[in-house]
Structure 1
Amino acid sequence: MTTSEDRSPARRGAARMDARKVVKPLRSIAIFGAVGALVAAVALPAYAASKPADASATVQQLAAVDAQSLVVASQTTAAPVDRGTFSATTPEEIEKKKAEEAAAARAAALASTASAGSRSFDIGNYALVSPGSGEVRYPLPLGSYKVTRTLGGAHNGADMVSPQGTPIYAATAGVVRVSSESYYGYGVGVVIDGVVGGQRVETTYGHMTYGSRQVQVGESVAAGQLIGFVGSTGRSTANHLHFEVKVSGGLVEPIAWLSANAG
């Protein structure tokens, strides 16, 4: 039963104050709850995005999920680049192929020219064998040459000046070791290995006319046999025969050796 004291203004004011004290904590709790929910809404997607993939997932499975194709470098094959008749994969290889084919073509042309020249060169009425009967012969006909330089310094032989086309004969019998249209500074040259008086004798004939060689490598020749014709090829400024003689591997003065042994 309510009394008059319960309805007094003082008691009603106290009741309202007590109600406000209860509402304030509830309001704070509600605010904190709303803030927490907002933070969770922002943080959870970011956390989900940065969460590591399941350790049991394989690279193939991930690739299947992404639906992307990956080409491994070791599985690819470079297609050859074709440049006319050259098949290569880089510009360097193409240039190398070109150089190799050009060198082969030059060598083939030189060999063909040398071979054809040796067969077609007109030897005229020259004797195929020089006069004499000894195992050493003069490489040029007597009276057809003049010696202008001999062994000495860096010069390894004798220069026997003679008109172009003068026949050249093998000074000794032997086997042709060199027969070339381009034998270093000798130009068109021939080298013959022989034996004289039980000693090994090597004779060299340089600066012959192009295409005039009458012997080939490996061929056996007789002393005095025609082997070529005087010219001015290689390091030469006039028609002459450069004649060298080595006895047992050592150089000797060619003119003196001829005078002592030719007959």
Structure 2
Amino acid sequence: MAENNESPANEPARRIRYRGSSVTRTPQKATRPVARAAGRSFRSAASKPVRSVVILSMVAGLIATVALPAYAAWQPSSGAAAVTTQQVAEGNAQSLVVASNAADVSLSRSSYDATTSDEIAKKKAEEAAAARAASASASASTRVSVDLSMVAPGSGQVRWPVTHFTYTEENLFRPPIRPDHNGFDMLAPQGTPIYAAAAGVVRVSQDGYGGYGEAIVIDSVIGGQLVSTLYGHMIHGGRQVDVGATVSAGQLIGLVGSTGSSTANHCHFEVEINGTLVDPLAWLNANAS
């Protein structure tokens, strides 16, 4: 009868004697089920890194799917013209686009432009005053030296503007025949003194006063009437009074010249009474003394 050498897993240890010695035999545990369990544990541990790699790949693909098309749509095509920072900002008025080469600049209040009507008016007034001051300064610096103590002969309210002169028929006041000539031309050598025909206030003292060249206009009141007298074609630097100056009858105001629309040295003299032009020679003959 053959012996059964395989013991059950739960067989208790038996002691066997061999010639005076004893050996304890321990039953062997089943190994095959353990091996299968170890195999399952190995497969589970190996599958975890694989799943992590798959998940990361899916996330990266999702990012590429969303971000890359949007970035590509924003980029200009290779054949498109270069776009400036100003053109980028045109589509959105609320955008602020600053060029990479922009530099900080310090500004002072004095460099700002006027932004209100009051500031603009004030600025214009200041500029006009500065221009008048510059003109007056330039006139004073270029003014011809003359004896200002000279006065026209006579004692009446009206004096002759030039005391020694000549004239021809063409120099007379005849508007119907010569509408472009509203005065009386008194021919005299260059530098001959010109006097105020009447006391008054200087309204115009200007170089380049239209075709009159260097000219002066004086407003006077004579016999209750407003009388304006004009003296044209003076020599450059020959004006001796400025705008706003008060002059007396017979006071020296300038020197004969040929500036403006002139072909010879003379004093072009005009007279307006209450805004109406009159014959200057007839007016002088009737009133000068």
Normalising by the smaller structure, the TM-score range is 0.5 to 0.7
CA distance in 2: counterparts of 1:107 and 1:132, whole angstroms: 34
Tell me if the contact between 1:199 and 1:247 (Cα under 8 Å) persists in the aligned partners. yes
Give the drift of 1:107.
9.3
The reply on whether 1:116 has 2:121 as its aligned counterpart is no
Letter in 2 for 1:213: R
1:132 — aligned with what? 154
Shift of 1:149: 1.1
CA RMSD of aligned residues (A): 3.6
Q: C-alpha displacement at 1:146, in angstroms?
A: 2.7
**Distance in 2 between the 1:66 and 1:212 partners?**
78
AA at the equivalent of 1:193: D
Question: Which is greater in Rg?
Answer: 2
Q: CA deviation at 1:122?
A: 2.1
Count the aligned residue pairs: 180
Q: Does 1:150 pair with 2:155?
A: no
Paired position in structure 1 for 2:206: 180
Q: Please report how far the alpha carbon of residue 67 of structure 1 lies from its aligned counterpart in structure 2 after TM superposition.
A: 9.1
Residue number in structure 1 paired with 2:17 = none
2:240 paired residue among 211, 214, 219: 214
Pairs within 5 Å for 1:1-263: 62=67, 66=71, 72-73=88-89, 74-77=95-98, 112-118=137-143, 121-124=144-147, 127-141=149-163, 143-147=164-168, 148-151=170-173, 152=175, 153-263=179-289
CA contact (8 A) 1:157 1:244 kept: yes
- Identity of counterpart residues, as a percentage? 53
1:110 CA displacement: 6.0
- Displacement after TM superposition at 1:117 (Å): 1.7
Stretches of structure 2 that go unaligned for 5 or more consecutive residues are 1-64, 76-84, 90-94, 104-127
Deviation at 1:144, TM superposition (A): 3.1
TM-score of the two chains, using structure 1 as the length reference = 0.59
TM-score, normalised on structure 2? 0.54
Given that 2:165 and 2:186 are in contact with CA atoms closer than 8 Å, whether structure 1 keeps it comes out as no
SS of the equivalent of 1:202 reads strand
Instruction: Structure 1 unaligned segments of length 5 or more: list them.
Output: 1-51, 54-61, 81-103
